Amino acid sequence: MWTPRTSRWASSTRWRGGGGRQQNLERISKEELYDFWLQISDQSFDARLQIFFDMSNVWKDFELTMLEDGSYKAICKHCKKDYVAGNRAGTSHLKYHIRVCPDIQSSRRRKFGSPKLDIPIFDQQRSREDFSRMVLAHGYSFNMAEHYYTGIFLYNLQPSFKLVHRTTLKDDCMKIYEEEKLKVYQVFEKQPGRFSLTSDMWTHTEMSGCMSITAYYIDDEWNFHKRLIGFAHVEVPQTDCLKVFYEVTKRVSGTKYPTLSLYFNDFYGIYLLLHEWQFRVNAFVASTVVPMVDKFEKYWDIANKLLEIATILDPRYKMKSIEYYYRLIYDPFVAELRIESARKSFLELFGEYASQPSQTSSDANSSRNFEAAVPSSAQSPSSLFATRLGLEKFIYESNSSRHSKSELEIYLEDPSSPGIGNSSFDILAWWRVNGPKYPIISRMARDILSVPLSTVASESTFSSAKRILDDYRCNQLSETIEAIMCSHDWLKGRHIPSAYFY
């Protein structure tokens, strides 16, 4: 009986399961391994040898073959190169081959998105485009193309790459801008909903201004997007007429963009506290609170309708939030008037959306089915059938309108979704799932919830600094500045594939 040597098998692994497949592995002693060998001693030597070969991962890439003289060869499944195999040969040389096998390495490169060619081929034009995209995405200067160490660094990476002059780099960037702008417009054309536009002012050392235009929208998958679509010089009068809204704006801009439905509750929470501070704190604080209340009321007179509709579209609150705060703040008569006004505004907006052609496939199919049911004789306006067809069409539209009203009633009467106080609640995810149940209201939600609460990013909330253009951008033409700023917005935030790292 063959006995495994201590030095070779003392740290072997246990094989479990049948069918010649590697299963759960763990460390075993030489005695356990020998006992296992005795258990399978009734099998042929080839079968026992195959079991132990199956315990190594190398056999995923090699095939064991017995020659006529009884010896064994391990043949690579990829490049067909053969190596000595057997009980005494081990697998170290096979593992080394796996690391250097050209066919295996080529397969792995294709898996991680590299070109299908085994040997990468340098492309000057593609490298120029990549360099231009890098400049746009990270806000680098065009002069970077003429920096000494930029040239040294790129030459060491690829001696064949030729840097271009800064003016040529600018032309390349403008071409990329036009390509990316076309892609953005193509995305806009496919969006079924509406867009919200915001403007923001930038200044530079010469005190002239630039205005940026940003579009916000929610796509079919209920993902929130924003795209910078314009950036141009404007003449800006230097005034402080909006200073009275500073405190309110400071509070509004402290959150991320898609939070319009939450602001109604936040506003009235602060509003209640301010009224309480007027009477329960010292005179100095009270005198400071009074003008703050005035600012809140002035701002609310302008923005309340949109915020009322937004909070109704939040499935956690619907009308309950409006009813609660209005009845808490106002006297009963005024509170009921405001509640009814909010309900009426929501109903009017719902009616506007219900009257518009639906973008859903089911509505389109029903409309086509109705038209297909009309025979050609109905095309004559003087026929009796045309008169009856008009009646049928009227009944059809009335039923559709009645169905739309029932959708509104169902939404408002359905129990509110749990999640009040849960900061992780995703309102867009909720509408993504429940949109088919409320097709018209979901279209309203897609448009209303895309309206940003503020144009100020959360990281800039407590900074008094303005958005300032540096001297490098100020010296460019207006068209060039727009191309740089828009391309930077479109290209930034893209992640490097993990295959690019060691």
pLDDT tens digits, residue range 284-316?
Answer: 667 777 777 777 666 666 557 888 888 899 888
What's the pLDDT score for residue 472? 63
Mean pLDDT of 356-380: 49
What's the pLDDT score for residue 244? 34
What's the pLDDT score for residue 169? 92
Q: Give CA 264 to chain center in angstroms.
A: 26
pLDDT higher than threshold 60 for residue 385: no
CA dist 269 and 422 (Å) reads 17
**Would you place residue 8 in the very low, low, confident or very high pLDDT band (cuts 50, 70, 90)?**
very low
Summarize pLDDT for 16-29 with one digit per residue, the tens: 444 444 433 344 45
What's the pLDDT score for residue 399? 56
In this predicted model, which residue has the larger pLDDT, 129 or 361?
A: 129
Please report, for residues 41, 212, 287, 414, the alpha-carbon distance to residue 422 in angstroms, rounded to integers and kept in the order given.
64, 34, 35, 20
Among residues 266, 240, 239, which one has the least CA distance to residue 253?
266
Q: Are 202 and 210 within 8 A, CB to CB?
A: yes
Q: In angstroms, what is the C-alpha Rg of the chain?
A: 35
What's the pLDDT score for residue 202? 78
pLDDT higher than threshold 70 for residue 46: no
What's the pLDDT score for residue 13? 40
CA dist 405 and 367 (Å) reads 19
pLDDT higher than threshold 80 for residue 319: yes
Q: Are 108 and 85 within 8 A, CB to CB?
A: no
DSSP, collapsed to helix, strand or coil, labels residue 233 as strand
In this predicted model, which residue has the larger pLDDT, 97 or 461?
A: 97
pLDDT higher than threshold 60 for residue 383: no
Mean pLDDT of 165-190: 91
Instruction: List all residues 6 or more positions away from 412 whose beta carbon is below 8 Å from its beta carbon.
Output: 318, 319
Instruction: List all residues 6 or more positions away from 279 whose beta carbon is below 8 Å from its beta carbon.
Output: 286
Whole-number average pLDDT of the chain: 72
What's the pLDDT score for residue 150? 87
Pinpoint the alpha helices (H) of 139-208.
Answer: 148-157, 166-190
pLDDT higher than threshold 50 for residue 153: yes
**Would you place residue 250 in the very low, low, confident or very high pLDDT band (cuts 50, 70, 90)?**
low
What's the pLDDT score for residue 441? 92
What's the pLDDT score for residue 37? 55
Mean pLDDT of 225-232: 87
What's the pLDDT score for residue 443? 92
**Would you place residue 177 in the very low, low, confident or very high pLDDT band (cuts 50, 70, 90)?**
very high
* Burial of 83: CB neighbours in 10 Å, binned 0-12, 13-18, 19+: middle
Quick one: what percent of the chain has pLDDT higher than 70? 57
**Would you place residue 76 in the very low, low, confident or very high pLDDT band (cuts 50, 70, 90)?**
very high
What's the pLDDT score for residue 405? 55
Mean pLDDT of 466-484: 71
Side by side, which strands form the sheet with 82-85?
62-66, 72-76, 82-85
**Among 1-5, 105-109, 437-441, 465-469, which is the least confidently predicted range?**
1-5
What's the pLDDT score for residue 211? 84
- Positive or negative, the CA dihedral 430, 434, 435, 441 is negative
Mean pLDDT of 259-265: 60
What's the pLDDT score for residue 190? 87
Q: What is the pTM of this model?
A: 0.47
Tokens of 162: 């030729």
DSSP, collapsed to helix, strand or coil, labels residue 343 as helix
CA dist 329 and 275 (Å) reads 10
Q: Is 319 left (phi over 0), alpha (psi -120 to 50) or beta?
A: alpha
What's the pLDDT score for residue 254? 46
CA dist 361 and 320 (Å) reads 33
State phi, psi for 205 to the nearest 5 degrees.
Answer: -60, -25
pLDDT higher than threshold 70 for residue 368: no
E strand residue ranges, 316-454: none
CA dist 364 and 371 (Å) reads 11
